[in-house]
Structure 1
Amino acid sequence: MRNNSLKAAFQYKRIDVSTVDTGASKKAENMGAALKRIWNYLKMEKGKLFLVIFMVVISSLFALLGPFLVGMSIDHFIAVGQLNGLGLLLLGLVIVYMIHSLSLFLQNYWMVDIAQQTVYTLRKNLFEQFHRLPISYFDQRQHGELMSRLTNDIDNINNTLNQSVIQIFASVLTLIGTVSIMLYLSPILTVVTMSIIPAMFFAMRWITRRTGPLYKLQQRDLGDVNGYVEEIVSGQHVVKTYSQEDYVKDQFERRNKSLQNTGFWALTISGFIPKIMNTLNFLSFAMIAFVGGVLVITSNGALVTVGTIVIFTEYARQFTRPLNELSNQFNLLLSAIAGAERVFQVMDETQEEVDEDGAIELPDTKGHLVFGHVGFGYESADILNDISLEAMPGETIAFVGHTGAGKTTIINLISRFYNYDSGQITLDGIDIKKIKRTSLRKHMAFVLQDTFLFHGTIRENIRYGNLDATDKEVEQAAKNANAHDFIMSLQDRYDTVLDQDGSGISQGQKQLLTIARALLANPKILILDEATSNIDTVTELHIQEALKRLMKDCTSFVVAHRLNTIREADKIIMLEDGNIMEQGSHEELMKRKGKYYHLYQ
């Protein structure tokens, strides 16, 4: 969330960022760190980067040589009426500008390649980092805001690399070369030309001190808008069910207005740069023409010639243009760094705990799982206390209890989305912390209350359970899941393309597809989270029948919300506030007339 002092500073069409404490030393430190990390990516293309730098040097030198030759042609040929050799000089001038144009083309061509490769690697690393982060990271953040980092923020970096790297280097070279030649030709006119530098410096300092925090706020507001849009699009059913269209429009309007506000001032203030530079540029031309004319007249051409004044007017443009470019590129750089910091912030997030040293592959498992006095807490709060239970191979264990009792947490510990703090969980006598996570999860399958289907064909969605499965195996899994008949009734059958939300098929049919996906995985441990909730009675019978096939020879863990669906479980565990209150079969617990009995009644 935005700092309150920053939030209070912004009003529509009115802002005073000079009052905001931006933390200059920390900002400079963060900027330097971000630039260093971007440079580490650029270094992967050293060969092409060297060619780009070489072409920049060539283009800068020939850009300086052009005006010099024009001035020489005026002093040595045109002014004195000497035409012999003028044609050769003009031919040389044409060659100079041709080489200059070719070097510009090559440096841009190679730099685009470098930028695209850099952004490709950066985007790839960020996407891979998403898959190394724990589930809790995604639970606590808007998915649209994370997507904004992968798209908008990296696009900002891409645009800056395409433009700024060459421009900054070329501007510095041009500036050094221009000043050197100007000093050689006329120190007096050089001082006149450079007299505008203090005004440029203070103007640029005033602008960049304000645009820096604005660009960061713009990127944050853009991520906030993207996150909200993704959230509302995903929750359209809820919005319409409760007739909250006007409310979400107002909420979006507030976020959109904030983005408009920061974007308006960031672009407006940075837009002062070309206006100020043009004004100072014209002032420089006038001063050179006036002082140069006086020197020509008073010294009769001894101190300054007409050709020198022509060279200086062109070099004055080349002197202010690099300064202008540097200022503009600095603003682009600030925007890119704001995006880069958000990208690297995700890169630096604590990853899901890596497998412990000596962690083993689990080629096969019987599914014998034991909890021994397991405790777990999250953010200083105890969630599970002294949990002990045993699931024999092929048994079905059901967890019941009120919301917050710890049912889902136990499932997360079994699948190692979280690590327990105390006690021990073993699978076939092996501590699960000594088993590689990917190896453990290969023997597991999940059928959850909230079905998730990827954008793609039905065949591809089922095959997600086992990417090596043949079409015949996919279809057999669908048959076992009671999904084959409804699939064959569709126009494109198994090649029917589904959207991410599975639009076009019912909720029950989506669940049958997820069961088919789980069947194809051939798991030994099965996690069920009330897979039949919100399903019509006829479809529920199909799902229950499919689940029985899926649970055969599996050790199954069921999170139950409707108690009549778990009566046949081998063991029912009653949880309350992270503690096991009772455990046993349905009949045993009913006879005790304890908490389960009263909950069931």
Structure 2
Amino acid sequence: MSMMRGGRGGGPPQKALSFGPSLKRILGLMAPDKMRIAFVLLLAAISVALSVVAPKILGNATDIIFDGVVGKMLQQFPAGTTKAQAVEQLRASGQGQLADMLSAMNVVPGQGMDLAALGAILMVVLSLYVTAFFFNWSQGYMTTGIVQRAMYRLRRDIEDKLDRLPMSHFQQESRGDVLSRVTNDIDNFAQTLNQTLTQILIAVLTVFGVLGMMFSISPILAGISLLTVPIIAILTVLIAKRSQVQFAAQWKSTGDLNGHVEEMFTGHEIVKAFGQQEAAIEKFRVTNDYLYESSAKAQFISGIIMPSTNFVANLNYVVVAVLGGIQVAQGTLTIGSVQAFIQYSRQFSQPMAQLASMINLLQSGVASAERVFELLDAKEQRPDHSPAAKLGNAAGRVVFEHVNFAYNPQEPLIKDLSLVAEPGETVAIVGPTGAGKTTLVNLLMRFYEIDSGTITVDGVNTAHLTRDDLRSQFGMVLQDAWLFGGTIRDNLAYGKLDATDAEIQEAAEATHVDHFVRSLPDGYDTVLTDDGGGLSQGQRQLMTIARAWIANPGILILDEATSSVDTRTEVMIRQAMNRLRANRTSFVIAHRLSTIRDADLILVMNHGEIIEQGSHEQLLAGQGFYYDLYMSQFGEPLVEEVSQT
């Protein structure tokens, strides 16, 4: 198990995230909804435009209030005095600064607030904000739909991709890491899009809209505020570069941790049996510590972005407030314009800060997306031959001709192997561990592609068949009894989903499953966990044999099918297998040579080659490799029996 391999839970990648290309590919996922995206852009633009215009109109309300207050204060002037006359008199009396400020105002000496105009402006502003909210809510609702449809298509593509990946991919990758990519990474990716896509869009539009309004009020103050943009951008880029690697490491270590937990949970009995609990806990601790370190670093580094941008924004706010006050005193701006500009200044800095903080989420999401894209870009198995040949119901003549295969090109395993299995024959394959017995079956099922040579079934090259057509001809009983979460009835009918109760009953009785199933409280409706909890290993193996019986295949493959049952059960299974193998070509991989004595043909393999073949009696008479294997299992007891007699 991987817990014994040592090492940390996985370090950061050797190079930083491919942020730009990955982001472009993310946007490509939403291409089928481009018309909806265009409509979302329109809704967002309208919402932002209304929100941006409102503060300037609200500034007019402030001017009306302030004009009314100042007008009431100018009661020293005779009734009917105009603003121009009042300004002239103030200058003449030496109050030039007050006169300058008054000249920029729409004030009537001695007159208070225009309540009708104020009420009209407030109603307009309220209408603008309500309408902006409606458009903003609408585009947010549509964006959520766009993202969820994109994730639906992505999950569908991944499911299709998993079906096209070769067996070698799953042997090289941790199952927990693959599961993490399909679940955790996609969930994080979807959450990132939901939280950032709309906000980024609105933030960008707001920045440009507010900037335009700021320049319309005061180009000088707008220019000062614009200086904060490169400062914030530089801070964001510098900080983001340091957090990119940590986010990638965070999600990689998440996959490593999931893989370890899944492995330890699946093999918890073995872990306890060999006293490896402490080693498993230590491996978890090391991996979890690394996940903690990378996550903490990623969040801390990216978390600096928001405070940094807020600090720059606050400095800008102070400068705008001071200079705006000076311009009001000089009469170049009204107080309502300054109030609107300060509000715009806040609106300008807020989306800038949001954009900076969303880099945090965006980096995490892109890191997850890149892990998903790696899975989507993984090398696929060779496509089925087109046009594909048709096999129909196979008679079962299987021929290997000069087959060569290697998992590693530098280490050939199957070398120039040729064999013929006639219809209805039982072909047993024996040999030491690593001789290539299971590999032979994997090549027959096209779990792996041969490097050279041909394999034919009923004269049809298996490479010219679709994998589904080829594998539909086979029934398999493997050494590892695999059951899924569901009823016993569903597990038995897995190879033939439309199997009748009578067929299930017949197969269960023939394979000695019926007697222990009937002892369960719910019988065939008993629900099993995905590891067959509650059943012994031998009972689980019997169920897989019954499953193959129900499937009624033309060719049968038994890979150590009786290795997990006791001797008495093995005898019963052999009797059932004899009936199951009738008129079927069968390939039997066995270490217990007692189970294959009645095989029509025994192939003895070593180092990927067939070194001997023949019947049981022929091979014993030859006193070769098979004879040595057989005597190593049965020779010593026979000698003892002879000596006792």
**When the two structures are superposed, what TM-score results if normalisation uses the length of structure 1?**
0.93
The equivalent of 1:170 in structure 2 is 202
Give, as a single letter, the amino acid of the residue that structure 2 aligns with 1:93.
V
Kindly indicate whether the alpha-carbon contact (under 8 Å) linking 2:328 and 2:338 is maintained by their aligned counterparts in 1.
Answer: no
Runs ≥4 in structure 1, deviation > 4 angstroms? Answer: 7-10
For 1:464-475, what aligned pairs fall within 5 Å after superposition? Answer: 464-475=494-505
The equivalent of 1:154 in structure 2 is 186
Q: Tell me if 1:45 matches 2:33.
A: yes
Q: Helix, strand or coil for the counterpart of 1:79?
A: helix
Kindly indicate whether the alpha-carbon contact (under 8 Å) linking 2:574 and 2:595 is maintained by their aligned counterparts in 1.
Answer: no
Q: Given the alignment, which residue of 383, 388, 392 partners 1:359?
A: 388
Instruction: Name the stretch that deviates more: 585-594 or 159-168.
Output: 159-168
1:338–1:516 distance in 2 versus 1, CA, 3 Å? same
- Residues in 2 aligned to 1:362 and 1:40: alpha-carbon distance in whole angstroms: 41
The equivalent of 1:343 in structure 2 is 372
- Residues in 2 aligned to 1:189 and 1:379: alpha-carbon distance in whole angstroms: 69
Kindly indicate whether the alpha-carbon contact (under 8 Å) linking 1:515 and 1:550 is maintained by their aligned counterparts in 2.
Answer: no
Q: Given the alignment, which residue of 322, 333, 342 partners 1:313?
A: 342
Q: Tell me if 1:143 matches 2:172.
A: no
Give, as a single letter, the amino acid of the residue that structure 2 aligns with 1:55.
L
For 1:234-245, what aligned pairs fall within 5 Å after superposition? Answer: 234-245=266-277
Q: Tell me if 1:206 matches 2:238.
A: yes
Q: Helix, strand or coil for the counterpart of 1:541?
A: helix
- Residues in 1 aligned to 2:630 and 2:196: alpha-carbon distance in whole angstroms: 68
User: Which structure's CA Rg is the greater one?
Assistant: 2
Q: Tell me if 1:63 matches 2:51.
A: yes
The equivalent of 1:323 in structure 2 is 352
- Residues in 1 aligned to 2:40 and 2:510: alpha-carbon distance in whole angstroms: 61
Q: Helix, strand or coil for the counterpart of 1:98?
A: helix
Q: Tell me if 1:426 matches 2:456.
A: yes
Kindly indicate whether the alpha-carbon contact (under 8 Å) linking 1:52 and 1:111 is maintained by their aligned counterparts in 2.
Answer: yes
The equivalent of 2:641 in structure 1 is none
- Residues in 2 aligned to 1:463 and 1:200: alpha-carbon distance in whole angstroms: 63
Give, as a single letter, the amino acid of the residue that structure 2 aligns with 1:72.
N
For 1:537-576, what aligned pairs fall within 5 Å after superposition? Answer: 537-576=567-606
Kindly indicate whether the alpha-carbon contact (under 8 Å) linking 2:428 and 2:588 is maintained by their aligned counterparts in 1.
Answer: yes
The equivalent of 1:217 in structure 2 is 249
Give, as a single letter, the amino acid of the residue that structure 1 aligns with 2:145.
D
Kindly indicate whether the alpha-carbon contact (under 8 Å) linking 1:465 and 1:518 is maintained by their aligned counterparts in 2.
Answer: yes
**When the two structures are superposed, what TM-score results if normalisation uses the length of structure 2?**
0.87
- Residues in 1 aligned to 2:630 and 2:440: alpha-carbon distance in whole angstroms: 22
Q: Helix, strand or coil for the counterpart of 1:387?
A: strand
Kindly indicate whether the alpha-carbon contact (under 8 Å) linking 2:9 and 2:288 is maintained by their aligned counterparts in 1.
Answer: no
The equivalent of 1:586 in structure 2 is 616
Give, as a single letter, the amino acid of the residue that structure 2 aligns with 1:539.
T
Q: Helix, strand or coil for the counterpart of 2:173?
A: coil
- Residues in 1 aligned to 2:482 and 2:402: alpha-carbon distance in whole angstroms: 34
The equivalent of 1:4 in structure 2 is none
Shift of 1:173: 0.8
Give, as a single letter, the amino acid of the residue that structure 1 aligns with 2:461.
D
The equivalent of 1:436 in structure 2 is 466
Kindly indicate whether the alpha-carbon contact (under 8 Å) linking 2:9 and 2:287 is maintained by their aligned counterparts in 1.
Answer: no
Cα RMSD between the aligned structures?
Answer: 1.9
Shift of 1:132: 1.0
For 1:405-554, what aligned pairs fall within 5 Å after superposition? Answer: 405-554=435-584
Give, as a single letter, the amino acid of the residue that structure 1 aligns with 2:503.
E
Shift of 1:483: 1.1
Kindly indicate whether the alpha-carbon contact (under 8 Å) linking 1:196 and 1:284 is maintained by their aligned counterparts in 2.
Answer: yes
Kindly indicate whether the alpha-carbon contact (under 8 Å) linking 1:508 and 1:540 is maintained by their aligned counterparts in 2.
Answer: no
Give, as a single letter, the amino acid of the residue that structure 1 aligns with 2:239.
I
Q: Given the alignment, which residue of 26, 49, 54 partners 2:42?
A: 54
1:55–1:139 distance in 2 versus 1, CA, 3 Å? same
Give, as a single letter, the amino acid of the residue that structure 2 aligns with 1:37.
R
Give, as a single letter, the amino acid of the residue that structure 1 aligns with 2:526.
T
Give, as a single letter, the amino acid of the residue that structure 2 aligns with 1:315.
Y
Give a deviation string over 1:508-558, Cα, whole Å, max 9, x none. 111121112111111011111111113123332332232222212211101
Shift of 1:9: 13
Kindly indicate whether the alpha-carbon contact (under 8 Å) linking 1:144 and 1:228 is maintained by their aligned counterparts in 2.
Answer: yes
Kindly indicate whether the alpha-carbon contact (under 8 Å) linking 1:483 and 1:513 is maintained by their aligned counterparts in 2.
Answer: yes
Shift of 1:361: 2.3
For 1:15-164, what aligned pairs fall within 5 Å after superposition? Answer: 22=15, 27=17, 30-80=18-68, 81-164=113-196
Kindly indicate whether the alpha-carbon contact (under 8 Å) linking 1:370 and 1:425 is maintained by their aligned counterparts in 2.
Answer: yes
Structure 1's unaligned 5+ residue stretches are: 2-6, 11-16
Kindly indicate whether the alpha-carbon contact (under 8 Å) linking 2:303 and 2:360 is maintained by their aligned counterparts in 1.
Answer: no
Shift of 1:206: 1.7
Shift of 1:8: 13
Kindly indicate whether the alpha-carbon contact (under 8 Å) linking 2:9 and 2:290 is maintained by their aligned counterparts in 1.
Answer: no
For 1:227-306, what aligned pairs fall within 5 Å after superposition? Answer: 227-297=259-329, 299=330, 301=331, 303-306=332-335
Shift of 1:320: 0.9
Shift of 1:472: 3.1
Instruction: Name the stretch that deviates more: 31-40 or 373-382.
Output: 31-40
Q: Helix, strand or coil for the counterpart of 1:84?
A: helix
Q: Given the alignment, which residue of 206, 210, 213 partners 1:181?
A: 213
- Residues in 2 aligned to 1:336 and 1:102: alpha-carbon distance in whole angstroms: 28
Give, as a single letter, the amino acid of the residue that structure 1 aligns with 2:371.
R
- Residues in 2 aligned to 1:430 and 1:566: alpha-carbon distance in whole angstroms: 28
Give, as a single letter, the amino acid of the residue that structure 1 aligns with 2:273.
T
Q: Helix, strand or coil for the counterpart of 2:44?
A: helix
Q: Helix, strand or coil for the counterpart of 1:393?
A: coil
Instruction: Name the stretch that deviates more: 417-426 or 244-253.
Output: 417-426
Give a deviation string over 1:339-375, Cα, whole Å, max 9, x none. 1111111111111211122221221110001112211
Q: Helix, strand or coil for the counterpart of 2:413?
A: strand
Kindly indicate whether the alpha-carbon contact (under 8 Å) linking 1:398 and 1:558 is maintained by their aligned counterparts in 2.
Answer: yes
Instruction: Name the stretch that deviates more: 531-540 or 224-233.
Output: 531-540
Kindly indicate whether the alpha-carbon contact (under 8 Å) linking 2:210 and 2:347 is maintained by their aligned counterparts in 1.
Answer: yes
1:21–1:532 distance in 2 versus 1, CA, 3 Å? closer
Give, as a single letter, the amino acid of the residue that structure 1 aligns with 2:390.
E
Shift of 1:498: 0.6
Kindly indicate whether the alpha-carbon contact (under 8 Å) linking 1:443 and 1:523 is maintained by their aligned counterparts in 2.
Answer: yes
Instruction: Name the stretch that deviates more: 418-427 or 222-231.
Output: 418-427
Q: Helix, strand or coil for the counterpart of 1:453?
A: coil
- Residues in 2 aligned to 1:107 and 1:154: alpha-carbon distance in whole angstroms: 23
